[in-house]
Structure 1
Amino acid sequence: MASAVEEYPPADKFMDKLTSAVKMDRDSGLAMLTRLVKGVNCDEGERKHLIKLLRSQIASNFTELGNKECVMNGHFSDKKLGCLSASLILITGISDVEQEQIHQFVIQIKPDILNIMWDQDVRVRLTAGEVYGQICKILGPSVYLESKSAILEMLETEFQRNKEIEGMIKSPETPIDPTGEIASSEPHSSSSSSSPQLGMSPVTTPSNPNIMLCDVLKEATHIFQSASSPGAPAPIDVAMNLGCAQLESTLKCLQFIAKGLGTQFGPLIDMHLLELIFPSLHHQNRFIREAGFYLCATMIESGIDLKSFGKRLAKEITSGLEDFCSQSRIAAGVACRKFMMNLPQDCTEFLPIVLPRLCLCRYYMADTKFLLYSQESWKLIFAMDGPQLVGKYIDDMVRYYVEATASDNHAVREAACLCLGEIARKIDGKIVAPYVVGLMETLKRTFLDERWHVRDAACLASGSFFVNFPSQCQGLLESVFPLFFENLQFPISIVRQGAAAALANIIRAYGTAVLPMIMEKIIAGLDGIENQSSETSVNVDLQVFNPQLKYAYSPCHEANPPQPWEVGDGFMYLIGDISQISECQIYLPTLVPLVLKAAQHRSYSQHVVILETTCKIIPCIVNGIGKRPFKEYLQQCFEPIFYSIECENSMTAAAGRACLKELCTIYGPNIIRSRVELYDPRLDSMQLIIQLFWNMSCYSSPWIAQIQIYQQWEEIPNLINGFIAYFTRIPRNDQSSSKNCKDGCETFLKCVVFVGFLAILQNVVIMWKHPERPYYLTSMIIDHPEARSKFAYNLLFLLQIWLYLNAWASVAFIVFTKCIYAYVGSEVLKSLRQYNKKDKFMFVFSVNNVVQTFFKRYRSYQVLQNSFNSCFQDFWVPAHSALFSCIFIVGSYGSIRLPGLRAVVMGAVAALALLYLSLMSRKLGDLHEESTRVIQSWKIQGLRLTGKILKSMQPIHVKVGNFIDKSTPLMICQTVINITINALLSV
């Protein structure tokens, strides 16, 4: 479906929107013009006609707006902005077919655009510069050549005006009248020297910069007088800001021209232009410096003659890499990257200038964005040849790095120290060796820097030199040692870590020559933590430092005396670093107890820092001392680790979790878990609770049996006697045998008795070996194994054995009763079901006898079952099921949570309990199923007499609440397993 044609307003109303004083109207008009130029939803003929009218009106407006008075006074800024933006859309959006019309349009507006570039409004100047850049792109270098002298004079005038304002700021005695005029002793000339004609415009460039300066001061005075705030800036400050903004816009306009001309601009660059631009790279205003560096980058990209101007250009743009302002540094980094990427392969004379500065920027930590950009530039430019080039120009690299250590920018000093350390690590030692002593003296000087991160970088770099050039640095060891130990006890953790790494490098370099002295200091420092006062002020170390924030803190030149915990924390980091050094590993068994002892002192608020460090170094010590030797200390490590994990300090808690995870990786999760279970004091009470429930569950069996016997002391013997009498009345030839087990349930009962015997024997042996365990009666009088010969001990020992025997006797009684009843009852019902399948002929003639026999046997068994239900359904069977379910739950929980042999025993008993529950429930459920089959099999015969009798018979139910059927075992297993899983997950 075709879209509707958009109706555009007439050309005059279109221009009213484009030149409106309301920005929203201008934006709406520009959006409408963009759609018109692209031909969106409009008739082609009307589009061309409307664009033609708009071009004509814009050109006529430029003639009016480009006159001298309008430009110099900054009038109609909104109208200028609208016309310029519309011109930019018309120039850049027209297709190739309409290039001839647009060519005529740009020729017509070119002089006025150049005049408007002098406007006082910075927005207008920038937009005019962008339009003029597009004009240069269309008409070629001739446009720039025609206006070159005027543009350069404009740029020179802006610089001169800035110098005048800076001089006035430095000399506040300069008189200024209320109108903003400068009281100068030299009278201004009423006539101005004519400048090169700018197209058709009468605007000329003033010969005296004070004329333009007066205009700026008048505008600044007007701003000052209109400000109602008492703290409003003075006119001279406003003038300075306006002057800098106009100079910045002029540089950006020149950049637009260079970008528009592209590679055609390169041959047009001469030294005069560069001499005008280079001062902007050192201007006090950061926006001007940024604009100047981006202009240099555009000129390099346009193909400037690097052989003629490269050396001076390289020196100027690399100076911006040390700029305090991040935007200026990034702009200088862009220019340097373009300079090196456009450098010919055989042109290496500029590398001594660019290479050291670009290399240093890779370590400029104060600006992460600039650091990453510099690292990417290094990879793009030098790829894998960086170390070789640094070694080739080592003299220039070292000279620049030494100069950079004295820079006013603290981040440059830090980066210089890091670069010196990189030279020691990565460059061939034969190349660096002649410079080692001088570089070490430089680093020794930077140790006294007021900034802590500079001292930290110097410490790390010194350690790299000691480990890579031990013979050359040995003479400086005595003088540098105090500086290392001073950093090792500094209030900030990052500095302590760096000093520990540097001292570890010294030990790697000199070994036993310095090791005894360092070990004495380590032991003294760890022992000193116990002297830490609890009334110390909150230390700066508790604050979180990161590369983004660390430069926001004060220099920390005059630090307080180190606290004992700070000294001990530094030595802990040193222990973690030296644990991998073979010469130090013999000292680790002595140091580990001291570390763990230091972690126990928690009377001061900063103890969380010590705990964090302890958790950090434990995995390092394990790897250094070895898994097996460290096992004797493993149990002692859990207390500080778990204390750290539960700590409110997030960094300490994270270190504790990381340490425990690392130990699980080293030793394996199962070993750590068993050790944790042995350590955790909460697990001791858990073990007692589990054992208590286990004993209660196991020893409750005889009590349940005794209670049931006392309640049914007459009914139970009658039930047993009736069951025996019933079974004996069944002829042998009518009894069926089990298909699965030839001896009925005898094998199962023998297994139960055998398991009970083994359990009793095991408990007797364990009680004999460990009578002090709290779940034995012997623990009440025995504190030591030597007291086993006492009479009370023997009495309690025998009483404990009697309890075991009584418990398993009760279990056997319950199991035998239910098992025999279930097995035999099932076989009886099977015999009744098979009774009617005998000889059909005999069945027809003796149907009355058969039916009467079946009826008597089934009715007798129903009476027997009712007696069984009345004896056991209310208490014994439910309690018995609940008891064995509890044994399974507690046994399963204990087998997972408890360590040692008890877990195995409890797991085995729990499995037997679940097996017994499911087996007994299934066999008792078979009685219901089998009785249903019996009744159904007799109903199939279809005899009238049989049907009347069977109507009065119901299936047999073994009742526990309702009754047990085929699904009861599954329900019991599901219930106890769910309870066990929930218990495990809840703790």
Structure 2
Amino acid sequence: MFSVEVENITDGLCASQKLERDRAVADLASKIKSFSPDLLQSLMKALLQIVTDSSSTWESQHGCLLGLKVAVGVTSPDRESQFHLEVREIAIRLLTHQEVRVRQAAGEVLGALCERDGGATYSIVRGQVLDLVRSSLDRQATDDDASRSEHENTRILMEKLSAGSRERRNSGDAAQIFHDTAGWRNLETSMKCLEHMINGAAPKFLPYVDQELLDLIFKALTHTNRFVRETGFNVCGALVSCGAYEGAELLESNPMFTFGDQLTQHLGEGLADNWSQVRLASSVATRKFLMSLPPGAQERFFPVLLPRLCLNRYYVAEGVRLYSQETWRQVTEAEGKTLVEKYINHVVSYYIEATGADNHAVREAACACIAELALKLNTGAVRSHVQPLLHALTVCFADDSWPVRDAACVACGNFILCFPEEAQGSMEVLYPLFFTNLEDSIPSVRQGAAVAIANVVKAYGRDALPMIVDKMKEGLKGVKDQPCESERYGDLESGPAMYGVVKRKRDNDPELHSNKQMYSCGSLAPKMGRGGGGCSDCRFRRPPQVWERADGYVYLASELAGVPDAACEVTSCLPMVAEAVQHKHYAAHITLLETLCKTLPHLAKGLSKKVFKSHLHLFLDSIFYALECENGLTSSAASQCLTQLSQLLGPNILRGRVEEHNPSYLRALDANNFIAPL
């Protein structure tokens, strides 16, 4: 009877499909506690026999290892010591198996053994596992079949990557790229095995924490390969979880506190890693580390960890950002502002360092965090740091990553508004940068520059206004000189465009695209144009178009409308705004119209209904032209503009003004009001 039931279980565990093996493991886990001792003994012998049989497929070994893991969980280490010994020897041997899933399962089995015996298994296999990790950290070519296969696949991959450039084939750069990004066959599974054993033993693992183990983990945390670093931080997270604080436990006996300074240093480096996956793994380990200590003991490590946790709340990768925000909430307990002020020197130092990071996402987050210092902290805590922070932001103005330029511009505007006296000496440098961003080819950069310049006017009032208004008038009047498309793109290839993209003739020059540095996933985007003090050093930004300059000043007019000192000047410029959007001789005029429709309600609120009503007629032709155009974004913006103006002025007043200006527009207005087809 037993043989039939055992055969049914092993058949499921040895299935060729993973789904069937997983189903068999789950079924075994739900029923094994009800097995009789004899049935359990028969099952364990059968599983051991399959795993040790050299003719068994890797699928069979994988499934039976998972079955052994389940069996280990219901056996007593005292009564079944011989069984545990055999399982341990098999798991250690299979840690170097060619198939990664077998190696992973072997590590899980060792973790289950540590859970049953409180870490005794680790004390026995410690030398073998750590030696395996240590030897794998310094990867060397080997002669086994798996390594030969891996190296051949690597050669093929690198040939594909370097196709078309004979000089790059088998180059040192290609080898380094592989070295930094390829999976390291035994190392990851060996580290995962160590993680499973630590998690299995939990608090009982603390006596085994020593400098030798930490040095090995720290070596992985500083490894050149990002996958190794990520796995290392996962192990580090498991390690620090063992030291969770309990009320009666003395900190002096907690290895996490004893070795805390070393851990903090490496966790801080991980929180600033260029790769988002590594940064997230370090974030998880950092939260576990801080939450394992009582609140009074945490502050010892805040000078290193707090600034990095604070910056990661703005990191572009959503997983890192959301996890860091929750960590901040748990660690600071609503005292984040007070803690940042307390450690302001460390925070400012790290923020400035981050503005020069290789990763453009870090530079962008640093600019956002610097802006936060001006807006949220007490001015007395930040005042002495204004100049170095403004200098760092000024350098970021020259970044070729437009989100960094945008964030730097907005941050400078906030600093000027909060610290007008301290920023006064920097305005000679900042004014040209603001206006350069106001003419940028990226719409959100132009919009951010408009917000920043409005803050300048709020800070300095009429002292700054005349020059800004003159610039605005000049920019709005220039739209009539915007070249038409045939003049603008005289250097484009003739013939039909492919995929809707027209290429410039110079784009086919091989000298521009051969033997250049490559970047992966945007994580190591170059720090270009950061050597000089102005945006003229940026090599990858095309000169602004005339209409883009006008577009920026339309945004600026909308922002200045809400500034009392500038209301009169903005009102006087409304005819020029209306005239600028009426030029339709270039294709991008619909984008300028879209900007007008998006900003007009905000401008009307800023100037007040009474003032704006007398100028509404200037914009009606442009609004209804945009409403009926074929561009969906522009038409939608015009529709929303009419809806918002109706709410602001009143539907009857708007209808009356439209009827007075041009009765033929009423049909379109009514259709928009009732969301009916035109």
Q: TM-score range by the shorter chain?
A: 0.7 to 0.9
What is the percent sequence identity of the aligned residues? 35
1:87 aligns with 2:68: yes
1:364 to 284, 304, 315: 315
Structure 2 equivalent of residue 53 of structure 1: 42
How far is 1:247 from its partner?
0.4
Question: CA 1:282–1:507 in structure 2 vs 1: closer, same or farther (change >3 Å)?
Answer: same
Question: CA 1:586–1:398 in structure 2 vs 1: closer, same or farther (change >3 Å)?
Answer: same
Structure 2 equivalent of residue 912 of structure 1: none
For the residues of structure 1 that align with 2:666 and 2:16, how far apart are their CA atoms?
82
How far is 1:278 from its partner?
1.3
What does 1:40-119 correspond to in 2, within 5 Å? 49-62=38-51, 64=52, 76-92=57-73, 94=74, 105-119=83-97
Question: CA 1:453–1:243 in structure 2 vs 1: closer, same or farther (change >3 Å)?
Answer: closer
1:272 aligns with 2:212: yes
Report if the CA contact (8 A) 2:413-2:453 is conserved.
yes
How far is 1:243 from its partner?
7.0
Q: Which amino acid aligns with 1:459?
A: C
Number of equivalent positions = 614
Structure 2 equivalent of residue 341 of structure 1: 291
2:226 to 272, 286, 293: 286
How far is 1:648 from its partner?
2.9
Structure 1 equivalent of residue 635 of structure 2: 653
Question: CA 1:24–1:499 in structure 2 vs 1: closer, same or farther (change >3 Å)?
Answer: closer
Question: CA 1:238–1:129 in structure 2 vs 1: closer, same or farther (change >3 Å)?
Answer: farther
> How big is each residue's C-alpha offset from its partner over 1:256-281, in whole Å with a ceiling of 9 and x where there is no partner?
01111112123321111111011222
Matched position secondary structure for 1:585? helix
Structure (1 or 2) with the larger CA radius of gyration: 1
> How big is each residue's C-alpha offset from its partner over 1:550-571, in whole Å with a ceiling of 9 and x where there is no partner?
9999977332222110111111
1:598 to 580, 584, 593: 580
For the residues of structure 2 that align with 1:434 and 1:323, how far apart are their CA atoms?
29
Structure 2 equivalent of residue 966 of structure 1: none
For the residues of structure 2 that align with 1:465 and 1:133, how far apart are their CA atoms?
53
Structure 2 equivalent of residue 801 of structure 1: none
> How big is each residue's C-alpha offset from its partner over 1:408-448, in whole Å with a ceiling of 9 and x where there is no partner?
11111121122112112222222212221222222222222
Matched position secondary structure for 1:283? coil
1:375 to 315, 325, 339: 325
1:607 to 559, 583, 589: 589
Q: Which amino acid aligns with 1:136?
A: C
2:268 to 314, 318, 323: 318
For the residues of structure 2 that align with 1:109 and 1:581, how far apart are their CA atoms?
76
How far is 1:485 from its partner?
0.8
For the residues of structure 2 that align with 1:249 and 1:21, how far apart are their CA atoms?
22
> How big is each residue's C-alpha offset from its partner over 1:467-487, in whole Å with a ceiling of 9 and x where there is no partner?
111111111111221111111
1:151 aligns with 2:165: no
Question: CA 1:223–1:12 in structure 2 vs 1: closer, same or farther (change >3 Å)?
Answer: farther
Report if the CA contact (8 A) 1:322-1:409 is conserved.
no
Matched position secondary structure for 1:406? coil
Report if the CA contact (8 A) 1:216-1:243 is conserved.
no
Matched position secondary structure for 1:671? helix
Structure 1 unmatched ranges of 5 or more: 1-5, 166-212, 544-548, 687-895, 898-980
Structure 1 equivalent of residue 513 of structure 2: none
- Higher relative contact order by CA 8 Å / sep ≥ 6: 1 or 2? 2
Structure 1 equivalent of residue 103 of structure 2: 125
How far is 1:405 from its partner?
1.3
> How big is each residue's C-alpha offset from its partner over 1:609-644, in whole Å with a ceiling of 9 and x where there is no partner?
211111122112211211112111223333222222
Report if the CA contact (8 A) 2:360-2:525 is conserved.
no
Report if the CA contact (8 A) 2:341-2:381 is conserved.
yes
For the residues of structure 1 that align with 2:659 and 2:294, how far apart are their CA atoms?
70
Structure 2 equivalent of residue 137 of structure 1: 115
1:18 to 13, 34, 38: 13
For the residues of structure 2 that align with 1:455 and 1:986, how far apart are their CA atoms?
42
Question: CA 1:101–1:436 in structure 2 vs 1: closer, same or farther (change >3 Å)?
Answer: same
Report if the CA contact (8 A) 2:98-2:146 is conserved.
no
> How big is each residue's C-alpha offset from its partner over 1:1-33, in whole Å with a ceiling of 9 and x where there is no partner?
xxxxx9993535653553456657645654664
Structure 2 equivalent of residue 9 of structure 1: 4
1:262 aligns with 2:202: yes
Question: CA 1:384–1:30 in structure 2 vs 1: closer, same or farther (change >3 Å)?
Answer: closer
For the residues of structure 2 that align with 1:225 and 1:417, how far apart are their CA atoms?
40
> How big is each residue's C-alpha offset from its partner over 1:461-520, in whole Å with a ceiling of 9 and x where there is no partner?
111111111111111111221111111101111111111111111111111111011101
2:304 to 353, 378, 387: 353
For the residues of structure 2 that align with 1:296 and 1:147, how far apart are their CA atoms?
19
For the residues of structure 1 that align with 2:66 and 2:483, how far apart are their CA atoms?
71
For the residues of structure 1 that align with 2:389 and 2:175, how far apart are their CA atoms?
48
Q: Which amino acid aligns with 1:354?
A: L
Structure 2 equivalent of residue 480 of structure 1: 430
Stretch of structure 1 that moved more, 494-503 or 16-25: 16-25
For the residues of structure 1 that align with 2:444 and 2:523, how far apart are their CA atoms?
13
For the residues of structure 1 that align with 2:346 and 2:158, how far apart are their CA atoms?
54
Report if the CA contact (8 A) 2:358-2:524 is conserved.
no
**TM-score, with normalisation over the residues of structure 2?**
0.82
**TM-score, with normalisation over the residues of structure 1?**
0.57
1:519 aligns with 2:448: no
What does 1:503-518 correspond to in 2, within 5 Å? 503-518=453-468
Matched position secondary structure for 1:586? helix
What does 1:28-47 correspond to in 2, within 5 Å? 29-30=24-25, 33-34=28-29, 36-37=31-32
Q: Which amino acid aligns with 1:55?
A: M
Matched position secondary structure for 2:96? coil
Q: Which amino acid aligns with 2:545?
A: Q
Structure 2 equivalent of residue 621 of structure 1: 603
For the residues of structure 2 that align with 1:477 and 1:683, how far apart are their CA atoms?
47
Structure 2 equivalent of residue 419 of structure 1: 369
> How big is each residue's C-alpha offset from its partner over 1:538-591, in whole Å with a ceiling of 9 and x where there is no partner?
99xx99xxxxx9999997733222211011111111111111111001112211
Report if the CA contact (8 A) 1:217-1:236 is conserved.
no
How far is 1:363 from its partner?
1.6
> How big is each residue's C-alpha offset from its partner over 1:285-329, in whole Å with a ceiling of 9 and x where there is no partner?
332222111111111111162321111111112212233322222
What does 1:232-247 correspond to in 2, within 5 Å? 244-247=184-187
For the residues of structure 1 that align with 2:14 and 2:550, how far apart are their CA atoms?
73
Q: Which amino acid aligns with 1:610?
A: L
Q: Which amino acid aligns with 2:43?
A: L
Report the RMSD for the aligned CA atoms in angstroms: 3.7
For the residues of structure 1 that align with 2:468 and 2:151, how far apart are their CA atoms?
71
For the residues of structure 1 that align with 2:667 and 2:86, how far apart are their CA atoms?
96
Question: CA 1:675–1:256 in structure 2 vs 1: closer, same or farther (change >3 Å)?
Answer: same
For the residues of structure 2 that align with 1:290 and 1:109, how far apart are their CA atoms?
29
2:188 to 225, 238, 248: 248
For the residues of structure 2 that align with 1:484 and 1:24, how far apart are their CA atoms?
59
Structure 2 equivalent of residue 732 of structure 1: none
Question: CA 1:459–1:13 in structure 2 vs 1: closer, same or farther (change >3 Å)?
Answer: closer
How far is 1:359 from its partner?
0.8
For the residues of structure 2 that align with 1:493 and 1:985, how far apart are their CA atoms?
31
1:404 aligns with 2:345: no
Question: CA 1:24–1:321 in structure 2 vs 1: closer, same or farther (change >3 Å)?
Answer: closer
For the residues of structure 2 that align with 1:552 and 1:566, how far apart are their CA atoms?
30
Q: Which amino acid aligns with 2:349?
A: R
Report if the CA contact (8 A) 2:360-2:523 is conserved.
no
Report if the CA contact (8 A) 1:132-1:257 is conserved.
yes
Report if the CA contact (8 A) 1:216-1:242 is conserved.
no
What does 1:448-467 correspond to in 2, within 5 Å? 448-467=398-417
> How big is each residue's C-alpha offset from its partner over 1:27-81, in whole Å with a ceiling of 9 and x where there is no partner?
5654664564366xxxx66xx543331112223445x35xxxx6xxx98533321
For the residues of structure 2 that align with 1:263 and 1:485, how far apart are their CA atoms?
60
Q: Which amino acid aligns with 1:626?
A: S
Structure 2 equivalent of residue 943 of structure 1: none
For the residues of structure 2 that align with 1:7 and 1:650, how far apart are their CA atoms?
71
Structure 2 equivalent of residue 573 of structure 1: 555
